[in-house]
Amino acid sequence: SIMALCADVKRLSTLKLLLLVLCDLVELCCRVVTNSFEILEGVLLRVLFASQLIDALNLAFLIA
CB 61 within 8 A of CB 9: yes
- Please report which confidence band the pLDDT of residue 13 belongs to, taking 50, 70 and 90 as the band edges: confident
Q: Is the pLDDT of residue 4 over 80?
A: no
Across 20-48, average pLDDT: 74
- Choice between 48 and 61, residue whose per-residue pLDDT is larger: 48
Q: What is the pLDDT of residue 12?
A: 78
pLDDT for res 1: 67
What's the pLDDT at 36? 61
Q: How far apart are CA 63 and CA 58, in angstroms?
A: 9
Confidence (pLDDT) at 64:
61
